[in-house]
Amino acid sequence: MPKANKIFLIVLLSILFISKARSQVKFDTLLYGVAYYPENMPYQRVDEDIVLMKKAGVNIVRMGESSWSLFEKQDGVFDFTWLDKIVDKLYANNIKVIIGTPTYTIPAWMAKKKPEIIATKLNGEKWYFGVRQNMDLTNKDYLFYAERIVRKVAAHYAKNPAVIGFQLDNETTANQCNTPSFFNGFVKYLKQKFVTTDSLNHAWGLNYWSQRIDNWNDFPTRDGTTNPGYKLEWDRYNQKVTSDFLIWQANIVKQYKRTNQFSTHCFNMIWWFPNSSQNQPAIAEHLEVAGLNVYHDTQDRMEGVGISIGGDFARSIKRDNYLVLETNAQTTGSGSANGQSPPFDGQLRLNAFHHYASGANMVEYWHWHSNHSGNETYWKGILSHDLKPNRVYNEMVQTSLDIRKISSHVINLKRTAKTAILYSSDSYFGLEAMPFGGSYNWELLRIYTQLYKMNVAVDFVFPNTKELSKYDLIVVPLLYVANDDLLKRLTEYVRSGGHIIFWPKAGFCNEYNAVRWTDQPGLLSKLCGVTYQEFSSVTKMPLKMDTLANAYADIWAELLQTTTATPLAWYTGNFFEKYPAIVANQFGKGNTIYIGTLLSDNAQKKILQDKCRELNLLDEYHLVFPIVHKYGINSYGKKIDYYLNYSNTVQTFALQSESNIDLLSDKPVLKNSLIVLKPWDLVVIERQ
Q: Is the pLDDT of residue 466 over 70?
A: yes
Q: What b-and-e string marks burial along 254-265, b requiring 16 or more CB atoms within 10 Å of the CB?
A: bebbeeebbbbb
Confidence (pLDDT) at 429: 95
DSSP state letters, 444-505: HHHHHHHHHHTT--EEEE-TT----TT-SEEEE----B--HHHHHHHHHHHHTT-EEEEPTT
* Burial category of 673 from C-beta neighbours within 10 Å (exposed 0-12, middle 13-18, buried 19 and up): middle
Same fold for the domain at 3-176+240-410 and the one at 419-614? no
The rounded distance, in Å, linking the Cα atoms of 513 and 203 is 9
Report which of 266, 291, 11 is spatially closest to residue 132, judged by C-alpha positions.
Answer: 266
pTM for this model (two decimals): 0.94
Contacts of 460 (CB under 8 A, 6+ apart): 312, 313, 316, 317, 420, 421, 422, 423
Contacts of 622 (CB under 8 A, 6+ apart): none
The rounded distance, in Å, linking the Cα atoms of 439 and 539 is 15
Report which of 20, 104, 425, 106 is spatially closest to residue 237, judged by C-alpha positions.
Answer: 425
User: What is the average pLDDT value for the chain, to the nearest integer?
Assistant: 94
pLDDT tens, position by position, 414-462: 999 999 999 999 999 999 999 999 999 999 999 999 999 999 999 999 9
Classified as helix, coil or strand, 99 is strand
Q: What is the fold, at CATH topology level, of the domain defined by 627-687? A: Immunoglobulin-like (2.60.40)
Confidence (pLDDT) at 19: 44
Query: 419-614 has which CATH code?
Result: 3.40.50.880
Report which of 234, 132, 116, 228 is spatially closest to residue 185, judged by C-alpha positions.
Answer: 234
Beta pairing partners, 595: 582
Confidence (pLDDT) at 123: 83
In total, the chain counts a number of residues equal to: 688
Contacts of 162 (CB under 8 A, 6+ apart): 87, 88, 90, 91, 95, 96, 97
Q: Is the pLDDT of residue 224 over 90?
A: no
Quick check: 246 and 173 in contact, CB under 8 A? Answer: no
Percent of the chain with pLDDT over 70: 95
Confidence (pLDDT) at 276: 65
Confidence (pLDDT) at 175: 84
DSSP state letters, 400-429: HHHHHHHHHHHTTPBP--SEEEE--HHHHH
Beta pairing partners, 597: 557
Q: What b-and-e string marks burial along 20-44, b requiring 16 or more CB atoms within 10 Å of the CB?
A: ebeeebebeebbbbbbbbbebbeee
Question: Which whole number is the average pLDDT over 525-540?
Answer: 98
The answer to which of 18-27, 60-69, 430-439, 590-599 has the lowest mean pLDDT is 18-27
Beta-carbon count within 10 A of 617 CB: 23
| CA R_g for the chain | 26
Question: Which whole number is the average pLDDT over 514-543?
Answer: 97
Contacts of 272 (CB under 8 A, 6+ apart): none
Judge: domain 3-176+240-410, CATH 3.40.50.300: no
pLDDT tens, position by position, 92-150: 999 999 999 999 999 999 999 999 999 998 888 999 999 999 999 999 999 999 999 99
Confidence (pLDDT) at 274: 45
Question: Which whole number is the average pLDDT over 215-225?
Answer: 94
Residue boundaries of the structural domains of the chain: 3-176+240-410, 419-614, 627-687
Give the CA count within 13 Å in the CB-facing half-sphere of 105. Answer: 15
